[in-house]
Amino acid sequence: MYTLSVDTPSHQYPIYIGNNLLQKFELLQPHINQKVAIVSNTTVANLHLPTLENVLKNNGIEFFTVILPDGEQYKNHDSLNQIYDALLSHHADRKTTIIALGGGVIGDMAGFAAATYQRGVPFVQIPTTLLSQVDSSVGGKTAINHPLGKNMIGAFYQPQVVLIDLATLDTLPERELSAGMAEVIKYGLLGDIEFLQWLEDNMPALMQRDKTLLAEAVRHCCQMKADIVAQDETEQDVRALLNLGHTFGHAIETEMGYGVWLHGEAVAAGSVLACILSEQIGSLKPADTERVKAIFRAARLPDTPPKFAFERWLAHMRHDKKVQSGKMRFITLKQLGQATITTIEDEQPLRKTLAAYLSQ
């Protein structure tokens, strides 16, 4: 088992990474109270909820469960209200701990509910997808989507503990595994060329779910994210680099309809577009972009975005959270393994970046 620490100005908490951790109550016990609300979805509940419920029951913890529909399209105000309704009907108070058991959608919604219910109750992240294990469960970003933009309504709110049970990846569908690998690759692109090379060397085995390699990939990504979050908890500076590919990616998700493209699939295509934009502003070589496309293909991810009108791309990207004073900012690459924040005031580099991907 790996044990990492996230040290932010607001809160310090551990990340545990290992196999069958869901059954180890001693890891949860210091971080939960005597009453617990479990938030999960229909898919994960069938696979992993009985294990967690039995662990809590056997250790005398009172709990109730909120099961939401599965999918990005349900990451909205209606689902959030289902959580609030359950908390209120079960007389949850400020000592009630919310446990998020699921992927990024469940983690984001349960975290936002915890941040806002009675102005804040403790919560625990138990991520069950690769994407949520390496990225969304760590760092305290919580949110729901709005029809005009992804993750536009939310709060920074840190969990008490992140419990990463790698055994949950055994039941993860192939498409979800690939989607998670997009976020893994992102870490190499934005800040660690040696990790990127390691991923290139080991991608076939990773996609075959080699347990040792997956554990190392998750550990490495969590450590990178913990280090970045410790420097910049509320994304005022360096944490924005973790959004590589996300400005384009969120535009794809919003335009196509939430859940049509998985988040990781959109991030993969968005990262390729970020590379092409980096070429346009003169900081990346075409051969580097081809290398990036190749590793995404090796992870069975799309390396080209869907086609839609430039005005639609622009409208979505102007809703991005990195926009400042009306100016769009993108995460670009000076070189592979070195990201930076770039303000784009002229539409021409964007038009050239998207030229091959525009509907007529």
Instruction: Write 290-297 long-range contacts (CB < 8 A, 24+).
Output: 291/336, 292/189, 292/336, 295/185, 295/196, 295/199, 295/200, 295/203, 296/182, 296/185, 296/268, 296/271, 296/272
Q: Which two tokens stand for residue 303?
A: 């390396």
Q: What is the DSSP letter of 147?
A: T
Active site residues per annotation: 119, 141, 183, 225, 235, 239, 243, 246, 250, 263
Closest Cα partner for 96 from 174, 20, 34, 25?
34
Taking only the tens place, the pLDDT of each residue in 327-337 is 899 999 999 99
Q: What is the pLDDT of residue 360?
A: 58
Contact call for residues 138 and 15 (beta carbons, < 8 A): yes
For helices 263-280 and 347-354, the axis angle rounded to 10 degrees is: 120
Mean pLDDT by 10 residues, the chain (360 residues): 94 96 96 97 97 97 97 95 98 97 97 98 98 95 92 95 97 97 98 97 98 97 96 91 96 95 97 97 94 98 96 92 85 96 91 88
Which pTM value belongs to this model? 0.94
Q: What is the pLDDT of residue 16?
A: 98
- Please tell me the distance from the alpha carbon of residue 299 to that of residue 302, in angstroms, as a whole number: 9
Contact call for residues 333 and 283 (beta carbons, < 8 A): yes
Q: What is the pLDDT of residue 221?
A: 98
**Could you give all domains of the chain from N- to C-terminal order, each with its CATH number?**
2-171 (3.40.50.1970), 174-357 (1.20.1090.10)
- Please tell me the distance from the alpha carbon of residue 109 to that of residue 83, in angstroms, as a whole number: 9
Q: Which residues are CB-contacts of 281 (< 8 A; sequence separation ≥ 6)?
A: 332, 342, 349
